[in-house]
Structure formats: C-alpha cells, structure tokens
Amino acid sequence: MKQLIEKHSLAIRWFHWVNFPVLSLMIWSGLWIYWANDVYRLGWGDTTLFKFFPQSFYEAFDVDHKLAKGMAWHFVLMWVFFLNGLLYVLYTIFSGEWRYLLPNRHSFKEAVQVTLHDLGLRKEPLPVRKFNGAQQIAYTSVILMGLGSVLTGLAIYKPVQFGWLTTLLGGYEFARVLHFALTIGYVLFFLVHIAQVVRAGWNNFRAMVAGFEIEEVDPATREIKAGPTTLSAADATLSSK
C-alpha cells in the first residue's frame, strides 16, 4: 500500500525556492558587471578568465555595457540572498534540522559510496535517510560558499571601507578571483543538483514542492499507532491472539 511520508518542512521549501531564482539572477547581473568594461574582467593581456563563449555571444544577449543596471540588480538581490541564507541557517539551528545536514565522521566515506552507486559501480542499496553523506557535504559546502560570496563581494565592492577584509582575503585581485570561482561553483552545483533531481524522479521533486513523498509500504509490516506504543501489523495480530 502507498503511504505519505513527510520529508521537507514549509520553511525549508520556501528557503529553497526563494534562493534558486535569486542566485540565478545574481549570476546574470554579475555577468553584466563583469562584461561592462575591460577593467572589471580577470586575466592578463588579451586573455580573459571565465570567458566561455565568443564575444558575439555576449553581444547577441546584450550583456555588454550594463554596468549601472548590473550593479543595481546585483546589490538589491545581494540583500535578499543574504537574508534568505541567514534565516535558513537560523532555522536549521533552532529547529534541529542541522542534525540531518551537517556532515559527520562517516559522511565522507559514504559520499564515496554514493558516487560509486550513482556511476553504476556499486550495486548495494544505499542507507535510507533524509540526507546521505554526499548530500550533507554538498549542502553544507553551499552554505559556506554563500558566506564566502558575501565576504568576497564586500571586499571587492568596498575595498577601502572593508580594507581589513580585502587584505585578509589576499588583496583586491585575489578576492575577485575567489568571488568568480565561487560563482563557477554554484553553476556546477546547479548542474549536478538538477541532474540528480531528474535521476531521482518525480517523487523526490514533489517532496520539495509539497513536502511529502509517496512510498510503498508492506501492509504486513506497516506501523499501527496504539496509544503510547507503536506496533507493526504483524505484532498487533499476534498480541490479539
């Protein structure tokens, strides 16, 4: 028989669905800033780092010469990104959700097994938990990356006012490299995350939309609530004889 299993709270779903478009728009507005002028680009001589497409691509999508517009969008969205992330961290702390998310001493070993399983090199089933070791490492890393983006963003936005932070991050140029490297990390995370969602199927995606999954439960072993105790159907049958 099928049974509804609660997986994600309303708060977690809100934080997730707010963060995705905000971060996507921040990356897009960051491209406007990056391609506004040569002085904002990273590289040496005629070589430009993070230039994945020919110049005609950026001209076709009207990315060039958008400095003021890019900064306006980037700095407004920065506050939404920061506040959403802060509320998410506070929620995980006070709700106890951090117990499921933080990696432990077994997470890294399990992450290797999860990777081998996803590549089809490991046939044994993975342990059934809310978040496996690979997810714990990935989601915790994204939170740390978000903090890194805020700090490096402040360092390159106000290098004089936050001179101590800019110096701590290795100087203005290195802080810029870190900021863009983190952006590349988000893009890679998006690609892997979406691929994993597609691979997991509709039931997993629905959990992040509606908060629950539908699982097949054996009627012979399903749990029956009986006052303060919880009995399986098989135990209940035996105890009634």
65-99: pLDDT as tens digits: 788 888 899 999 999 999 999 999 999 999 998 88
Other beta carbons within 10 Å of 16: 14
57-71: pLDDT as tens digits: 777 777 777 888 888
Domain count, the chain: 1
CATH code, 43: 1.20.950.20
Other beta carbons within 10 Å of 110: 20
Q: What is the pLDDT of residue 67?
A: 83
Q: Domain range for residue 124? A: 2-239
* CB-based burial, 55-70: b 16+ in 10 Å, e otherwise: eeebeeeebeebeeeb
Q: What is the pLDDT of residue 233?
A: 43
Task: State how far the Cα of 25 lies from the Cα of 40, in Å rounded to an integer.
Answer: 19
Q: What is the pLDDT of residue 45?
A: 61
Q: What is the pLDDT of residue 193?
A: 87
Q: Which two tokens stand for residue 82?
A: 């920061």
Q: Are 114 and 133 in contact (CB under 8 A)?
A: yes
User: Could you tell me the pTM of the whole model?
Assistant: 0.76
Residue 37: pLDDT band with limits 50, 70, 90: low
Q: What is the pLDDT of residue 76?
A: 93
